[in-house]
Structure 1
Amino acid sequence: MSETTSGQDTPVPHEIDTDYEIGQDNITPFGLDIHNPVFLISGISIVAFVMITLMFQAEATEFFGWLRPYVTSKFDWFFLSAANIFVVFCLLLMISPLGKIRLGGPDARPDYGYFGWFAMLFAAGMGIGLMFFGVSEPMSHFASSMGGISVENGVRTDWAPLTGAAGDVQEAVNLGMAATLFHWALHPWAIYAVVALSLAFFTYNNGLPLTLRSAFYPLLGERVWGWPGHTIDILAVFATLFGLATSLGFGTEQALAGLNFLFGWGTGNGAKVILIGFITLLALFSVIRGLDGGVKLLSEINIGLAVALLLFILVMGPTSTIFETALGGGLTYLQEIIPLSNPFGREDTNFTQGWTAFYWAWWISWSPFVGMFIARVSRGRTVREFIFCVLFIPTFVTIIWMGAFGGTAITEVLADAAAPVKDAALELKLFVMLEHLPLTTITSVLGIFLVLVFFVTSSDSGSLVIDTITAGGKVDAPVSQRVFWCTFEGVVAATLLLVGGAGALTALQAMAVSTGFPFTFVLLLMCVSLFMGLRQVSKLTK
């Protein structure tokens, strides 16, 4: 058995056969370093999916139009219950003695400072989503909360879009913000934290390859190197690709809508191909430069520009109202988090199935991508520090962000019931909201640029992650292989958007949900495996 972990002189705490080289059966055509079963099966399956979808567009549209609502309506209770487990599990780890364990061993120190670390995990985790939904979602939940406020003995009895006499406006604002924060704060980041912490621990503390199968060694033993492990990694590739494609679909639509809104560039097929080609070239440049010179640099630039846009809205928008909205929404979120999280006996099926179940499935499908990326940049953090920063720092930023963007839009609607932002298309709401603030053209161009660079950071981060999985956990696979995956993602996205249109986006969203469902079981077992591994380390260090 090997006596050291990867890259450091820390004893391996488990009796794990780390002499096994996961890539020993690799083939290397065209300079590629491919973990044969994972690459071939996942690659062929994804190509087959694209071809079948394009050949039978009408049938595929009908099928995927049925698939997403079926999964979210039948298994909403399962998604909500699992997400609750992830939050509780992370909080218990953070406050337990296991929180003292350091990723990489007692002498390990962080590879990145806090700013660079936060920038990378936030850009990978939710960048495009916050740009797309920052205005639209608070407005949607605010509108549904205006129907009335149902209270029994001082306690809300249900979280349904209620009907009846008009409720208090400020309470409706707070409820709308709380519903929004529920989908973007603790629960999704707990999902990411479970995967990221598992991968980081078993890689940096046990000397195992940086791939999903490694997190299951305490449960599967040597079988992780066989077909049980191959299956886990193949499922991770599916979840990553389709989860990423869903977000990139939103990003493409918003960027094109913004360019058309400002410059009349159009939103047709030609514009989509040009935009995706441009973004793919930027992503290729970032991928070739590597993690530090590409992804880290772009993430820091993007976070800096996002902060600049946020500060502009805070200063030039309805400042006092924004802070009231953020504070009131944040406190209401904490007060209502239990009824919001309740998976059983709910009457508000539109909220649980149309919103929450889809979001949880989407975040879970993203978790291999975001989790592995966070794991790569988190060596040297303690478990307690890791969970606190990954859960609570993004939650705080999200509260401010949603309060600024959503609060400004809601203020416009309250001041003028016919405000254009009220009825604007989802992908246009950000730009229509900015139209009522100074320097509209500059801020709108900045918004488009942020969407594009978040697009790029998601694409190149996703390429690095899929490359790592299909190369058997190697983080130093040949550049040509990273270029292959980055290019492949761009070609697939362009093909689906060009030929499939709206039906292709529906298919991608349905596949994100359908891959998120089986991967939820993987994450639940991952919690068990991680706890077993941490307990073993804790016993050895006593």
Structure 2
Amino acid sequence: MSTPTESSPPDYTSDMKTDYKVGQDNIEGKLGPIGFDIHNRVFVISALASVVFIVLTLLFPERAGSIFQSIVSFSTGTLDWYFMIVVNIFVLFSLALVVLPYGAVRLGGPDARPEYSYLSWFAMLFTAGIGIGLLFFSVLEPVYHANVSLPLSVLSPFADGALNPDAIPEASALGLAGTFLHWGIHGWAVYVVMALALALFTYNKGLPFSIRSVFFPVLGDRVWGWWGDVIDILAVFSTLFGLATALGLGAQQANAGMNFVFDLAVTTTTQVIVILLVTAVALVSVWRGLDGGLKKLSEFNMILAVVFFFFVLFAGPTLIGLNGFWTGLVTYVKELIPMSAPFGRDDDAYRQSWTVFYWAWWISWAPFVGMFIARVSRGRTVREFVICVLLIPSLFIFIWMGIFGGIALDQLYADPGNSLVKAYVIDDYRPELSVFGMLNELPLPGVSSIFAIVLALIFFVTSSDSGSLVIDTITAGGKVDAPRPQRMFWATVEGLIAIVLLLGGGLSALQAGVTATAIPFSIVMLVMCYTIIKALNGELRRIRT
């Protein structure tokens, strides 16, 4: 497969004239003594800052934990309105691209054709863009939202410590709708903006596969200097901390599952060991590359996920699960605008604790997932790209979480006194055990729980693997074939950052890393919307002439 830096760039439109070769030479790396292809400033600054962060957090964990908590409070409490508005802008922007003439533009030019089949493409979207969240939150969120802090401030069935039968249907539907909000088109619209920008400027404009390239219409030749360095460094840290959050949650869930099945103690030490072991497996996949490692692992992971999904659907109350999906979807559509509005609802605590954190998390994952989606999406039209990236993963998530959440809510209300779901989500709040509580009331709980652990670990590996490939591309100046030792270095750094965040404050530290990087990067993404339009206008002019 030819890479962006290897192929001859097409002629630029009138607003994109520059010396491509000079820009490419300025940001390409130099082969170092240990086999690294180092883009001097981006690689060196990113690597050194990562090492310093790891060392300081290990040396001063209490102080680091206090700082992390302050960052979370400021980001979600003071800037909640900002995150809500920004993500809504991305949704409207993505939908506009579908209906406007821009949708006819093909990524890579009129003669480009997709390099991957729909099945392989969807599998890689699935594993890179969703990850551990399908398991960690599929039971936790619907039950929590329906019974503790509802999206529209509806009375909780447990508000007075007793069930209110009249409130159960509405509460359940809103709990599922709140989950759909956090995992649906809003988040995937963030990925659309990032991935589309990269694909256009790489495949259609012939620029290096680097986030800085997207800003050429604004910065001109300055993208090859310090301005571009800052953009790429922000992307590196956004990716690192977004991935670290997913890896930390994955380690917690894997440890919880091992405790549930094998009575292995839930400790930070165990979670650290899990991260180290999974990072070691990820290193093997990283070494094998995209086609030899991640592509095959993604397809295998999708097969396992589908098998697990159908087991839960048919081993549990099938009609109740399907009804959970349908009622959640209908309520989501009806309440989408009020739930996603930044003002006008008396639910600040819910919005700040859940929705704003999710929007920051999606933004922090945007460089990682966006670059990965762009990497595998050459040959798609803009309209096909936007529709598929927005709707296909969202629909899959709605079905998965609607069925898992619907079955869990049914277990909860059928026998609240003996429900492990209630115990783990409402009474004792051990979110990492929520899916295992649901599985415990289905046939073969031991087998299905082991299956869930294996699935979580593979999600863990694919996230680390794809993230390493993306960070490596950024720090190598846009090359997609940088040396293997460099890819392995970043896979190791990801694991270490996840470990120090767990040691430095657990969940609050993971949230802090996400929100701190999402604030500046959200501004970068808003500018991307403008540069995308500039690039698409140029492509339309080329097509028409």
Normalising by structure 2, we get a TM-score of 0.93
In structure 2, the partner of 1:45 is 49
Q: In the alignment, is the contact (CA less than 8 A) between 1:23 and 1:34 conserved in 2?
A: no
Deviation (angstroms), 1:496 = 4.8
Could you tell me how far apart the structure 2 residues matched to 1:529 and 1:284 are?
35
Could you tell me how far apart the structure 1 residues matched to 2:273 and 2:66 are?
29
In structure 2, the partner of 1:511 is 513
Q: Is the counterpart of residue 467 in structure 1 residue 468 in structure 2?
A: no
Query: Which deviates more, 171-180 or 54-63?
Result: 54-63
Q: In the alignment, is the contact (CA less than 8 A) between 2:244 and 2:495 conserved in 1?
A: no
**AA matched with 2:539:** V
In structure 2, the partner of 1:304 is 303
Query: Which deviates more, 23-32 or 452-461?
Result: 23-32
Deviation (angstroms), 1:485 = 1.4
Spell out, residue by residue over 1:238-294, the C-alpha distance to the aligned partner (whole angstroms, 9 max, x if none). Answer: 100011001100000000110111012223355334322321121111111110111
In structure 2, the partner of 1:430 is 435
In structure 1, the partner of 2:317 is 318
Could you tell me how far apart the structure 1 residues matched to 2:188 and 2:273 are?
33
In structure 2, the partner of 1:153 is none
DSSP 3-state at the match of 2:30: coil
Per the alignment, do residues 328 and 222 of structure 1 end up closer, same or farther by CA in structure 2, a change over 3 Å counting?
A: same
Deviation (angstroms), 1:161 = 4.8
DSSP 3-state at the match of 1:110: coil
Spell out, residue by residue over 1:302-338, the C-alpha distance to the aligned partner (whole angstroms, 9 max, x if none). Answer: 1111111111111111111111111111011111111
Q: In the alignment, is the contact (CA less than 8 A) between 2:28 and 2:478 conserved in 1?
A: no
In structure 2, the partner of 1:152 is none
Q: Is the counterpart of residue 289 in structure 1 residue 282 in structure 2?
A: no
Deviation (angstroms), 1:5 = 8.2
Q: Is the counterpart of residue 420 in structure 1 residue 425 in structure 2?
A: no
In structure 2, the partner of 1:486 is 491
**AA matched with 2:423:** D
In structure 2, the partner of 1:527 is 529
Q: In the alignment, is the contact (CA less than 8 A) between 1:193 and 1:387 conserved in 2?
A: yes
Q: Is the counterpart of residue 127 in structure 1 residue 127 in structure 2?
A: no
Q: Which runs of 5+ in 2 are unaligned?
A: 425-429
Per the alignment, do residues 496 and 332 of structure 1 end up closer, same or farther by CA in structure 2, a change over 3 Å counting?
A: closer
Per the alignment, do residues 25 and 477 of structure 1 end up closer, same or farther by CA in structure 2, a change over 3 Å counting?
A: closer
Deviation (angstroms), 1:341 = 1.3
Could you tell me how far apart the structure 2 residues matched to 1:106 and 1:342 are?
39
Deviation (angstroms), 1:82 = 0.4
Deviation (angstroms), 1:523 = 0.6
Could you tell me how far apart the structure 2 residues matched to 1:141 and 1:283 are?
34
In structure 1, the partner of 2:270 is 271
Could you tell me how far apart the structure 1 residues matched to 2:341 and 2:190 are?
17
Output the aligned Cα RMSD. Answer: 1.9
Alignment of 1:8-407 (within 5 A): 11-13=11-13, 14-20=16-22, 21=24, 22-24=26-28, 26=30, 28-144=32-148, 159-162=152-155, 166=164, 167-407=166-406
**AA matched with 2:385:** F
In structure 1, the partner of 2:454 is 449
Deviation (angstroms), 1:195 = 0.2
Spell out, residue by residue over 1:18-50, the C-alpha distance to the aligned partner (whole angstroms, 9 max, x if none). Answer: 112244563623111011111111111122222
**AA matched with 1:32:** F
Q: In the alignment, is the contact (CA less than 8 A) between 2:245 and 2:511 conserved in 1?
A: yes
Deviation (angstroms), 1:529 = 0.7
Q: In the alignment, is the contact (CA less than 8 A) between 1:27 and 1:36 conserved in 2?
A: no
Q: Which runs of 4+ in 1 moved over 6 A?
A: none
Q: In the alignment, is the contact (CA less than 8 A) between 1:283 and 1:457 conserved in 2?
A: yes
Could you tell me how far apart the structure 1 residues matched to 2:400 and 2:29 are?
48
**AA matched with 1:460:** D
Give the paired residue count. Answer: 525
Could you tell me how far apart the structure 2 residues matched to 1:10 and 1:106 are?
12
Query: Which deviates more, 331-340 or 62-71?
Result: 62-71
Deviation (angstroms), 1:345 = 2.9
**AA matched with 1:397:** F
Spell out, residue by residue over 1:119-162, the C-alpha distance to the aligned partner (whole angstroms, 9 max, x if none). Answer: 1111111120111000000001111478xxxxxxxxxxx82254
Could you tell me how far apart the structure 2 residues matched to 1:280 and 1:486 are?
7
Per the alignment, do residues 423 and 47 of structure 1 end up closer, same or farther by CA in structure 2, a change over 3 Å counting?
A: same
Query: Which deviates more, 336-345 or 520-529?
Result: 336-345
DSSP 3-state at the match of 2:346: coil
Could you tell me how far apart the structure 1 residues matched to 2:104 and 2:340 are?
29
Q: In the alignment, is the contact (CA less than 8 A) between 1:209 and 1:474 conserved in 2?
A: yes
Spell out, residue by residue over 1:349-392, the C-alpha distance to the aligned partner (whole angstroms, 9 max, x if none). Answer: 01211111111011101110000011100000000000000000
Q: In the alignment, is the contact (CA less than 8 A) between 1:5 and 1:11 conserved in 2?
A: no
In structure 1, the partner of 2:427 is none
Could you tell me how far apart the structure 2 residues matched to 1:145 and 1:273 are?
32
Identity %: 52
Q: In the alignment, is the contact (CA less than 8 A) between 2:107 and 2:382 conserved in 1?
A: yes
Could you tell me how far apart the structure 2 residues matched to 1:450 and 1:63 are?
34
Deviation (angstroms), 1:440 = 1.3
Could you tell me how far apart the structure 1 residues matched to 2:383 and 2:289 are?
29
Q: Which runs of 5+ in 1 are unaligned?
A: 147-157
**AA matched with 1:256:** N
Deviation (angstroms), 1:467 = 0.4
DSSP 3-state at the match of 2:435: helix
Deviation (angstroms), 1:508 = 2.9
Could you tell me how far apart the structure 1 residues matched to 2:520 and 2:275 are?
30
DSSP 3-state at the match of 1:112: coil
Could you tell me how far apart the structure 1 residues matched to 2:152 and 2:42 are?
43
Deviation (angstroms), 1:492 = 3.6
Q: In the alignment, is the contact (CA less than 8 A) between 1:10 and 1:105 conserved in 2?
A: no
